[in-house]
Chain A
């Protein structure tokens, strides 16, 4: 099934916020931000900016009628800085002008002075200074302190993973239009319409029922618009509300990269105990998360790090501690994987260390420790319908792992400066928001009198194909042609109190709600048909847009609908879905946190040019657990895209700050994301057979995030290439493995040799 909007997309007819035709007189806003990482504002002079051509007004914290607060989980983040600034890019003022250019010109006329304070940029430094977002969180399984003595070997290490810029191609954007009765309608590029509605209402000091947030589609989100779209919507709404005119705020790329948070960088310490056969007995890990200057979603991200600290392995004794450290960079936020990738990189590094100690290939250690049915996770849940071994075995045999290994070894014998590497990357990712209450969704289904169907859900379409899946669900339940099913924009007036479209759960939650709503109407229609056709309920069937009695066609879909309408049958339904059976006790860090887990295994191969440090990802092949996919094209696209994005995080995407906390990688010229050349030459994602998932819609599984983590395999494949060049390579577990890092690591080792 194709993307719902594909015909519009290819014609350039799909409307994103910056493409909207807004009413005449719409004003344009630009944000004036802090250019220091930490300090106290001593003076601001906006007189020249106010006098600048086209400028209508300038807004600051003192113009906010409600509360100057945008924090969701913890109320620690202001919309505009009041006196202290905490990061470069923190919004201070909003300039509103008749044109975007005039607003931008005025920015340069604002004079500001600060008393500078020393910024904290490193999470470990923040920890030492006691600068934390919240108290540390610990997950524990077994009794770690009792087993260290039983371990044949213990290895320790430090692992660093970098941030990642979302780089959704559509920047943060909002347009606010004032309506009568102090109401406001906000078009926002948000993954979380309800959160945006709540923030706008809070800033304006009006009840939520006076704020309507509407989302047609996003030009990419990846988590970057889960919590961080709301401030921009609130800014546009504030100006629109004050000036009683429509206001548009579309960030330019450099501002977007500078102002918004990214994937959390982590610095982690691990200690791992194992037997001489490579069985892992104990794993202790401490994650120092660089949260940035405010909480945002950091505590939830940190929690997921702890949930996934053992990836797809069973380790009987675990102690994992997460520390969310407050620093002077923009508040870091959700990004595909949500803390999971950072956790998995650490355990995979620890396994690499074991393999070096025991001098056996890493895949043997991985294989030996894979999760089995019924194994307990560090949070108390047990693996059910566990596909870890199944996907592993299928991947290794399908992709002829042993043969590949041999041919790679042969290649490496024959080549001095080109070296190949290979790595296996299994994944296990829990599906559900880890905050249990968020696992709810609603759908509103209307059948109009001509038989056409309109559906509103809480799901936001951002390219992941959720609208396509919801159409498929409705078309399947009613057994009508999909062309008569339309998906409406996501709107807080039609679907209230919604969770963000995040945690890979959009299609699961909203799909289930849609299923329930459709079933409600279908039941009414069958009863209506029974009366219209004077037949027994058991004899009636709706199929392919027709109504049959004992296999004999009696009515068209359209006839059934129009006749039912005249019989006063309710042709609309609102339904609500909440994931059953899940709970999590935060005080004990135990519970059935996830509806189910997604498994899979990927094999990654690379070739490294040891003289240049450049590498090519030759092959990525995965056997992935999609459940029973009912939208294979969409799911495959999600898997491929996630893998490439994951490889990008591990290899080329490097966030750099200077010592003053100024972002150096602030544009596409200095921050590189995978381009078309980066596509692996061999790229295969296979559907794991027999992976029925009773907890998912039509037995499917969520797809958005899990495949991202196959990208970690690229790091270890490159490392394998490097070790093929120098078996005794001295290196750090530090990502991204940019060509520069490869070269520096290789050359560092060469120097050591010469000086000896």
Chain B
């Protein structure tokens, strides 16, 4: 644990996508469909106005087709099976679906997948530094910043966005940065400690 304390800010950011540049994933389900000659499905897709979407998720380039009304969170959870990101309130009030989009924390339930076209997404699954926990994740472990764990991915991603903006946040910046993320277990005192611990480690 102690060796992680000294982790540099460069390593902190490294988790976001510069990690595995160049790898390329095509969502298999669509790939199979595409192999057929204009199938019923393709015809339907044409009718429904499916669009090609290209984005980077946790450092991997993804090219897929989506219905225009697909939410980013549904793309992540259902197509890419990145189920760490949670749907809680469906209306941008709770932060359970927080991800990082081009360096900023956003609610992925409030965005169309197509709006992420050409952008870079980091989810909770993209934070691991190889086999090791990201210092933020480690801080939540060390400070017991959770109870049931359902809001935790959102909390950690919000904290990640906060620390990208304010590497050395004041108490007020922590409260404001984390205020969009609800925790019904109300583990807030320990969430505050976790964010502080992470900030002091990443410095």
Q: Quick check: is B111 within 8 A (CB to CB) of the other chain?
A: no
Residues 722-752 of chain A, each 1 if its beta carbon lies under 8 Å from chain B, else 0 = 0000000000000000000000000000000
Contact A12 B84 (CB under 8 A): yes
Question: Would you call A637 and B187 a contact (CB within 8 A)?
Answer: yes
Contact, CB under 8 Å: A679 / B141: no
Shortest CB-to-CB span from B188 to chain A, Å, is: 4
B151 touches which one: A2, A169, A464 (CB < 8 A)?
A169
- A465 contacts B by Cβ under 8 Å: yes
- With both beta carbons as reference points, the residue of chain A lying nearest to B123 in the complex is identified as A12
Residues of B within 8 A of A16 (CB): 86, 150
Q: Which residue of A lies closest to B88 (CB)?
A: A169
Task: Kindly specify which of A62-70, A567-575, A669-677 makes contact with the partner chain.
Answer: A669-677
Considering the complex, which residues of chain A in the window 651-698 have a beta carbon less than 8 Å from any beta carbon of chain B?
667-669, 673-679, 683
Secondary structure of the A side of the interface?
loop
Given A11-B128, A220-B148, A465-B147: A169 touches B137 (CB 8 Å cut-off) = no
Closest CB-CB distance, B112 to chain A, in whole Å? 14
A219 contacts B90, C-beta separation under 8 Å: no
> Chain A 13-25, CB within 8 Å of chain B: the 1/0 string?
1111011010000
Least CB distance, A711 to chain B, in whole angstroms: 10
- Min CB distance B124 to A, Å, is 4
Question: Is the CB–CB distance between A669 and B137 below 8 Å?
Answer: no
* Size of interface on B: residues with Cβ below 8 Å to A: 50
- Closest Cβ of chain A to B21, distance in Å, is 22
Residues of A within 8 A of B151 (CB): 169
In the complex, the answer to whether A10 meets B133 with C-beta atoms within 8 Å is yes
User: Are the C-beta atoms of B124 and A12 separated by less than 8 Å?
Assistant: yes
- Is A495 close to B, CB under 8 A? no
User: What is the 8 Å Cβ interface bit string for chain A, positions 631-655, against chain B (1 contact, 0 not)?
Assistant: 0010001101111110010000000
**Across the two chains, which residue of chain B brings its CB closest to A13?**
B84
Complex partner residue of A463 from B86, B96, B185, CB under 8 angstroms = B185
One of B5-13, B49-57, B173-181 contacting the partner: B173-181
Question: Are A644's CB and B186's CB within 8 A?
Answer: yes
Q: CB distance A18 to B187 under 8 Å?
A: no
Contact A676 B148 (CB under 8 A): no
For the complex, is A253 an interface residue (Cβ under 8 Å from B)?
yes
Q: How far is the CA of A641 from the CA of B186 in the complex (A)?
A: 4
Question: Which residue of the partner chain B has the closest CB to A648?
Answer: B186
Q: Among the listed stretches B31-39, B113-121, B189-197, which one makes contact with chain A, having 4 or more residues with CB under 8 Å of it? A: B189-197
Which chain B residue shows the least CB distance to A646? B186
- A sample of 23 cross-chain residue pairs with beta-carbon separation below 8 angstroms, ordered by A number, consists of A6-B140, A6-B144, A7-B133, A9-B146, A10-B156, A11-B124, A12-B82, A15-B83, A19-B77, A169-B182, A170-B150, A219-B149, A220-B185, A462-B148, A463-B150, A637-B147, A643-B186, A668-B93, A669-B91, A673-B182, A676-B191, A677-B179, A679-B189
Chain B residues with a Cβ under 8 A of chain A = 77, 81-91, 93-94, 96, 123-125, 127-128, 133, 137-138, 140-141, 144, 146-153, 156, 175, 178-179, 181-192
Give me 10 other A-B pairs in contact (C-beta within 8 A), A220-B184, A253-B91 excluded. A6-B144, A6-B149, A10-B133, A12-B83, A13-B84, A19-B77, A222-B184, A640-B190, A667-B89, A676-B183
